[in-house]
Amino acid sequence: MPEINQQPTILIVDDMITNILILSDLLKDEYDIKIAKSGLKAIEIANSQNIDLILLDIEMPKMNGYEVCKNLKNSEKTKNIPIIFVTARNSETDEEEGLNLGAIDYITKPFNKTIVKLRVKNHIKLKEKTDLLEQLSMYDGLTNIKNRRFFDEIFEKSYYESRRKKTNLALMMIDIDFFKPYNDNYGHGKGDEALKKVSLAINNTLLSHREDDLVARYGGEEFVVLIKDISLDELNKIANNILDSIKKLKIKHDYSSANEYLTVSIGIANFDGNKDIPKIELLIKSDETLYKVKASGRNNFLI
Ligand code: GH3
Ligand code: MG
Ligand code: MG
Ligand code: MG
């Protein structure tokens, strides 16, 4: 699970540099400050950097603060960044509009510096808690790789994306061989350690290929890998590399039938986005293929 940034980042958006300076002087000791002098620049920064909170002016030429807020709230990537309007517009209708657009707070100028500081602090604390909850809901507690819930979500999206783009989607089901005897003989603690090592090895193997592939813990000692738009050659190579990376761990296993060390079996479904095959079939196919690998001696893969 990625670590939460030590010093939160605040983006100050205002067309007047004097206003920017007042806010940044107030907050620069406790936060990493980014500035934008236009709405467009603000959107660009929010989309390309990790921003924890935005202080947003309303009256700006070309694109005003309301439009910026609307844009950010409409995009998957930026919709969760809390926005506080900081503005000279002090009518209730303006405040209503700002909050209605999804801003978390509305501060009118001239403002009390201590109150602004405290409000920012409270919103940052909330953001940190929300981020932590989001992380916890995505990651598996034992292995620190993505969990089943996250996989289900991404699998659904990737499946429809490959149908739309008519590209292939590969699903690997990876299962540790003879893991029950491993646990029974070495103990559950050692079993947990092995699970952590195996998941890290699979994750690192995929990272060394392409960064946007997904590795997740599917259940007990089963892992899934989801790879978009890949050639058969490349798929073979990745599967071989995963088997190698597990062998290289040299986790002693005297209670497996054939091998001295812990191994895994991999069943792969390679889905053709041109064909009208239901999503569930990919899981069934990879599971059936995995079963074939198990039946024919394990420590291998099949596509
Ligand atoms: P096969 O080669 O056919 O896959 O045999 P296997 O023994 O691996 O298969 P089986 O499904 O019978 O055993 C899976 C074992 O995985 C059972 C359980 O003890 C172990 N396991 C599942 N989750 C965990 C976990 O979180 N920690 C530990 N230590 N063991 C786990
Ligand atoms: Mg202005
Ligand atoms: Mg299993
Ligand atoms: Mg197993």
pLDDT at 3 (0 to 100): 52
Tell the residue number behind the tokens 């034992």, with chain if given: 142
pLDDT band, very low/low/confident/very high, at 210 (cuts 50, 70, 90): confident
CA of residue 258 to ligand 1 center, whole Å: 17
User: For the packed helices 65-73 and 92-100, what is the interaxial angle rounded to 10 degrees?
Assistant: 20
Pick the closest to residue 195 from 223, 171, 169 (CA basis): 223
CA-proximal residue: ligand 1, atom 10 (nearest): 180
pLDDT at 61 (0 to 100): 95
CA of residue 221 to ligand 1 center, whole Å: 5
Q: How large a percentage of the chain has pLDDT more than 70?
A: 98
pLDDT band, very low/low/confident/very high, at 209 (cuts 50, 70, 90): confident
Q: Ligand 1 within 6 A of 180 CB?
A: yes
Mean pLDDT of 215-227: 97
CA-proximal residue: ligand 1, atom 19 (nearest): 180
pLDDT band, very low/low/confident/very high, at 5 (cuts 50, 70, 90): low
CA-proximal residue: ligand 1, atom 11 (nearest): 180
Marked catalytic residue, from 221, 222, 260, 281? 221
pLDDT at 1 (0 to 100): 54
CA of residue 207 to ligand 4 center, whole Å: 24
pLDDT band, very low/low/confident/very high, at 17 (cuts 50, 70, 90): very high
Please spell the DSSP secondary structure of 45-94, one letter per residue. Answer: HHHHS--SEEEE-S--SSS-HHHHHHHHHTSTTTTTS-EEEEES---HHH
pLDDT at 256 (0 to 100): 84
Mean pLDDT of 267-287: 95
Catalytic status, residue 260: no
Query: Using CA atoms, how far apart are residues 238 and 114, in angstroms rounded to an integer?
Result: 56
Q: Ligand 1 within 6 A of 178 CB?
A: yes
The atom of ligand 1 lying closest to the CA of 142 is: 26
The atom of ligand 1 lying closest to the CA of 192 is: 29
CA of residue 200 to ligand 1 center, whole Å: 18
pLDDT at 212 (0 to 100): 77
Chain segment 67-114, per-residue pLDDT in tens: 999 999 999 999 999 999 999 999 999 999 999 999 999 999 999 999
Q: Ligand 1 within 6 A of 191 CB?
A: yes
Chain segment 241-271, per-residue pLDDT in tens: 999 999 999 999 998 877 799 999 999 999 9
**Which of 84-98, 158-172, 201-215 is the least confident region?**
201-215
Find the helix or strand (DSSP H, E) in which 30 lies: none
Query: Using CA atoms, how far apart are residues 8 and 221, in angstroms rounded to an integer?
Result: 37
ipTM above 0.95, yes or no: yes
Mean pLDDT of 20-38: 97
Tell the residue number behind the tokens 């919709």, with chain if given: 79
pLDDT at 238 (0 to 100): 96
Chain segment 147-157, per-residue pLDDT in tens: 999 999 999 99
Find the helix or strand (DSSP H, E) in which 145 lies: none
Query: Using CA atoms, how far apart are residues 264 and 242, in angstroms rounded to an integer?
Result: 9
CA-proximal residue: ligand 1, atom 2 (nearest): 177
CA-proximal residue: ligand 1, atom 4 (nearest): 177
CA of residue 264 to ligand 4 center, whole Å: 8
